[in-house]
Structure 1
Amino acid sequence: QIVSDLRIAEPLLPTKPANGGKASRDAAAHLLAKAYLTRASAETDIRGMKPTDLDSCLYYAESVLPENGGTHKLMSNYADLWDMKNQGNSEVIYAVQFTNNPLYNDDGNWFHLYWNAANYELQPGMIRDIANGRPYGMIRPTDKALLTLFDRKNDSRFYKSFKMVFYANNKKTLPKWETLSYNGEVYFTPDPAKGQKEGKNKIELGDTAIYFSVQKCGLQPGTLEMKKYLANFKYVYMPYEMHDIEGHPVLVKHLDPTRPDKNTQAGAREWVRMRLGETYLIAAEAAGRKGNYELAAKYINVIRKRAAWVDNEVKAPQYWKEEGGEMGDLKSTYDLIKVTPDDLKTDFVTFILDERGRELLGEIYRWEDLVRCGVLYDWVMKFNEEAKAAGTMRPFHKLRPIPQNHIDRLKPAGKIEEEQNEGYY
């Protein structure tokens, strides 16, 4: 029914809707391609797959691409996608709209609440403000996302996706040099020769107050050795070992600095549900699943070219401070992350899932991607240590529970186990 509806809608919808937030022909084609791909990517479930699904997926995905007459084009810089001044940009195919007008915004967009660093406002030199957001800290990236998924040196998407630094904004709590002790043992004394004078401010307003690093220091949090190590920094330094305790790099894709005050929950950022960057990856996946690795590599490389640092672009400081690059290097990194057809042949499904993870991290696609490919349970057990330790994840979680009131409407006298998904009765 989904396929049928979209096939009817696609030729009838306008190429360019008069208002933002309205469905277009490209939006229908993008979603139709995704529906075909979802059906075609079933490996263990029965979803009515047809031999032509991948061909249909590729046909509709390619129809959206600008080289085939599509009306959208990629933003040239990945970072520009997350600047709220660029809402409704050339890459957005369909987005849910919000507004700062309280008369129409109701609850607004809450996504800005979920990815922030918990308790940043409690650190020296910091106070909650609009730009840094509400420190709920409900969702944090996995070890896979921060440590192994990206080529952090050459793929600019990593440092363009995360906020690693908070700048001091509270004069009243600026950190000062002081003698520190632990269990009665003095482990740090300010060294005047290094400018560390007792009672003197370590930093001033606007200086780095918190820095999140994805590098490990090799020390256990809470130990004397870790306390000694951290005491030498002017700011609050967070090596990877401290992320679970004090916070983590912040995904910038949902931050909303346009809220009227620091405690407002109702955000106005649009929720992008379809963008051209994903359309290229849908086309690439269909091609790769068909065994056409040359075409798959072509479409992936369109995304990789945008992902690379370009010639004369100033790279993130982590490029030379933490990732082994040279300071002042302004050369393109595209040749270092460009893929070849041979790169895709060993385990294409894993490759494309990882590439979708790099391009679409935090954009609310991961659950459905892992489910449609039949790997949700296995990947959670492999890559999410907290979920594995909790022991609550089960294979049947690939399906959601059906609301009881829906079951009652359909079959009031029926047995719940006949209508409810496995595991929820």
Structure 2
Amino acid sequence: MKKILVAATAAFVFLTTGCSGFLDEELKSSLAPNNTYTSSYGFEVGVTGLYAYARAEYNTWGGSASSHGQACPYEALQVATDIVVTGHKDGSLVPFENLSYSPSTTFVNSYWNWAYGLISSANELLEKSDNPDVKWDKATDKSLFQAEARFFRAYAYRSLVYLYGDVPYVDKIEKSFRIDFTRTAKAEVLGKMIDDLKFAAQYLPENPDKVQTGKLTTWAARHLLSEVYLMAAKYPEAETVAKEVIASGNYQLMNARFGANKDKAGDPFSDMFLEYNQNRTSGNKESIWVMQLEYNTTGGGGEYEDWTKRAWVPKYYNLNGFTLADTLGGRGLAQIVPMKWWINDANFFEEGDIRNSEYSIKRDWYYNNPAVADKYGKKAEITNATWAAGTLFPAVTKYFYGKSDNLSYGGNNKDRMKFRLAETYLLLAEAHLMQNHKKEAADAINEVRKRSHAPLIDESQASVDFLLDERIRELIGEESRRFTLVRFGKLKERTLKYNPNTQNMEDYHALWPIPQTIIDSNTGAEFPQNQGY
């Protein structure tokens, strides 16, 4: 499968440092912006680095431009919410479940550094693109590369605003060492993000069939812009932009079987999460933006790029009668396990909802080790003990991933749908609900439910909590649940209601602390810590 060009990507990936200026650059190659950002090809190489840096959002231990340095960075945005609890009790994850993290905790620092590293690289490209001596192949190249850079700058600030609130807004490369950064009000940062995404929407390509696999289009920018408008409480604008994506005619909810396994047992919803089925080239017309993480492929992911499989797949192989199998998801570690209130409640998924089919949630497990003859082929019982131990529980199959040539492989190198049309409908529903347009909200939700063969709702059922439940049914594991609950103002309420492991949450936990290294090094101006820390 053709992937985004990766030649010389590392030349433009700059890591941040906490003990000096957090936007300082550290050159990682003999290639430098001054000798490469001189032509369209140089900017193509540079912007490819932004795609690589963006997907490092999921990176664990290394092998990437930016690494979190521990397991479970993405899962830190799932625990201490209403959907999962820790299973494996990974040391990097437990502090985020019991809310004992501090301004010095690894992920508190690494998410900050990842985001500002991406911003720094985007700013570098934007600054160099204004050089009048650049030799552009086409008159539209400059605006195209600027659009991609401005999309990624907004994407990075999205995480910063959700996690830390008011953060320094920086839109240029600092030429001298600075220790006097100040925090920019969240509303102002959101305004800058909106400006970036409006520019990106104007200059990114419109036809998703005429861009390289994994590349951005105007519709990806508009999808993200809809979410940012919601973050900024600009609900009519969020509604308008979401409708533009839906009405574009470029995307559709997948209602028919597709992909390599379309003639095998399954359904259209689960088809989207099978390996190789994420991109338009497979027939998937629901995906709006797909991160390229494919296994053993130039431009794909490495073993440490995405460990989502380890998080969601049970440690079934620890039970007598099981052995590792790619068909069972490979070697998971059950770093998180689903809460029973939603995955085990017969009323949460209504009858006929294909998102609850055996192809999307594995509830029936059968012993597969022929060496244990008395159990082989028999059904294994899920118990409270196996659930608590993480060895067996109803498991979301979206991130099942194994390779028969290496059953212990730790990565999860399926391409990852970041934006898809079903979420656009749910963003539209959110915009309607926030304007008290309940009938229109129900209509948007029902578009998603129709595909899933779930009973349709009427306007009396359209509520914030119903929409949050619907996002679980549709987007479990795909969305950063913390981000969603923070945007709705529901993090504390829903966590205390549903999560038995996080009963000490206070209002201030809606934000993480500012990394202590940033406060300590920024001696030239006041840089206050978030309340509660």
Q: Compute the TM-score of the two structures, normalised by the length of structure 2.
A: 0.56
Letter in 1 for 2:326: I
Local SS of the residue matching 2:381: strand
User: What's the CA shift string for 1:268-316, capped at 9, x where partnerless?
Assistant: 11222111010011111212222222221221111111111xxxxxxxx
Decide whether aligned partners of structure 1 residues 72 and 6 sit closer, same or farther in structure 2, where only a CA change above 3 A counts: same
Q: Is the 8 A contact 2:364 2:380 kept in 1?
A: no
Q: Which residue of 1 aligns with 2:82?
A: none
Q: Which residue of 2 aligns with 1:157?
A: 355
CA drift of 1:99 comes to 2.6
Number of residues paired by the alignment?
Answer: 318
Instruction: State which of 8, 16, 21 in structure 1 corresponds to 2:199.
Output: 8
Please say if 1:79 is aligned against 2:270.
yes
User: What's the CA shift string for 1:136-159, capped at 9, x where partnerless?
Assistant: 011111122223472342322123
Please say if 1:401 is aligned against 2:510.
no
Instruction: State which of 495, 501, 519 in structure 2 corresponds to 1:386.
Output: 501
Letter in 1 for 2:388: D
Instruction: List runs of 5+ in structure 2 lacking aligned partners.
Output: 1-191, 256-267
Instruction: State which of 262, 265, 275 in structure 1 corresponds to 2:410.
Output: 265
Local SS of the residue matching 1:84: coil
Q: Is the 8 A contact 2:403 2:409 kept in 1?
A: no
Q: Which residue of 2 aligns with 1:46?
A: none
Decide whether aligned partners of structure 1 residues 103 and 85 sit closer, same or farther in structure 2, where only a CA change above 3 A counts: closer
Letter in 2 for 1:289: M
Query: 1:351-366 maps to which residues of 2 (within 5 A)?
Result: 351-366=466-481
Whole-Å Cα distance in 1 between the matches of residues 492 and 222 of structure 2?
30
CA drift of 1:59 comes to 0.5
Instruction: List runs of 5+ in structure 1 lacking aligned partners.
Output: 41-52, 175-200, 209-234, 309-333
User: What's the CA shift string for 1:43-76, capped at 9, x where partnerless?
Assistant: xxxxxxxxxx1110011001111xx223111111
Whole-Å Cα distance in 1 between the matches of residues 229 and 525 of structure 2?
33
Local SS of the residue matching 1:243: helix
Q: Which residue of 1 aligns with 2:337?
A: 140
CA drift of 1:239 comes to 4.3
Q: Which has the larger radius of gyration?
A: 1
Decide whether aligned partners of structure 1 residues 240 and 338 sit closer, same or farther in structure 2, where only a CA change above 3 A counts: farther
Q: Identity across aligned pairs (percent)?
A: 30
Instruction: State which of 336, 340, 343 in structure 1 corresponds to 2:461.
Output: 343
Letter in 2 for 1:236: A
CA drift of 1:241 comes to 7.0
User: What's the CA shift string for 1:296-349, capped at 9, x where partnerless?
Assistant: 1221111111111xxxxxxxxxxxxxxxxxxxxxxxxx5xx11112222xxx21
Q: Is the 8 A contact 2:270 2:360 kept in 1?
A: yes
Q: Which residue of 1 aligns with 2:287?
A: 92
Local SS of the residue matching 2:442: helix
Please say if 1:420 is aligned against 2:529.
yes
Q: Is the 8 A contact 2:449 2:456 kept in 1?
A: yes
Q: Which residue of 2 aligns with 1:35?
A: 228
Local SS of the residue matching 1:269: coil
User: What's the CA shift string for 1:358-380, capped at 9, x where partnerless?
Assistant: 11112133111111111212211
Stretches of 4+ aligned residues off by more than 6 angstroms: none
Decide whether aligned partners of structure 1 residues 378 and 292 sit closer, same or farther in structure 2, where only a CA change above 3 A counts: closer
Whole-Å Cα distance in 1 between the matches of residues 409 and 396 of structure 2?
19
Q: Which residue of 2 aligns with 1:377?
A: 492
CA drift of 1:162 comes to 1.1
